[in-house]
Amino acid sequence: MSAKHISTPLTDDVIQSLRAGDRVLISGIVYAARDAAHKRMIELLDKGETLPFDVQGQVIYYVGPTPAKPGQVIGSAGPTTSGRMDKYAPKLLDLGLKGMIGKGYRNQEVKESIVKNQAIYFASVGGSGALLAKAIKTQEIVAYEDLGPEAIRKLTVENFPAVVINDSFGNDLYMEGTEKYRQD
């Protein structure tokens, strides 16, 4: 099964062409943000203020990288558990966020929001941070530098490997994959 090359920002055509289980190689801009950054972003929205970056059409990568060694673009940068961002994701999807990269289950509300907003959820391989960092070509801190590894970063990625978990049609690879290989 070969991987599909896709670019960000994600268009509806691309999103509709993808199905749970598809392997993709993502190129373009993705934004790194995890727990504390999400908390702050939602607090801004609750106060009626604007986000530090426009999420419209964008992809957020749930990652908190290690510090870069001299000469490196970024340290190790694999996905963190997405479920911790479930509380915040539907609001961002309603604002036009199109893609999320992480690992692990999403709750029902997020899955429904993915379908409603024609978005998509990818997982990359948790724990392969040394390998995934190689697909990150530039990084720049966009906001919340004080959060250290949890700051929001603008990343340029090239052929970043991921797998579609929840597609815009309501399919879920975690359910289907487990079902397929379960032996009773």
Partner 1 sequence: MREVHYQEIVEKVADMCQRANYDLGEDVVNAFKNALQTEVSETGKDVLLQLIENAEIAATERVPMCQDTGYAVFIVELGQDCHITGGSLYDAINDGVRKGYGEGYLRNSIVGHPLERVNTGDNTPAVVHVEMVPGDKLTIHMTAKGGGSENMSALKMLKPSDGLQGVKDFILETVKQAGPNACPPIIVGVGIGGTFEKAAYLAKKSLFRPIGERSSRPEIAALEVELMELSNKLGIGPQGMGGRTTALDVKIEIYPCHIASLPVAVNINCHASRHKEVVL
Give the residue numbers marked as catalytic: 38
**C-beta closer to partner 1: residue 13 or 182:** 182
Among 9, 73, 161, 171, binds partner 1 (CB under 8 A): 161
User: Vertex 113, ends 44 and 170: CA angle to 5°?
Assistant: 155
Q: Strand (E) positions, the chain?
A: 4-7, 23-32, 59-61, 99-102, 120-123, 136-143, 152-166
Among 7, 49, 127, 170, binds partner 1 (CB under 8 A): 127
Q: Which two tokens stand for residue 55?
A: 């999420």
Q: CA–CA distance from 159 to each of 68, 94, 167, 171 (Å)? A: 20, 27, 20, 24
**C-beta closer to partner 1: residue 94 or 174:** 174
Which residues in the 12-51 window bind partner 1 by CB under 8 A? 21, 23, 36
Q: Is 25 helix (H, G, I), strand (E, B) or coil?
A: strand
Binding residues vs partner 1 (CB under 8 A): 1, 21, 23, 36, 63-69, 72, 75-78, 80-81, 83, 103-105, 123, 125-131, 133-134, 147-149, 161, 163, 165, 173-174, 176-184
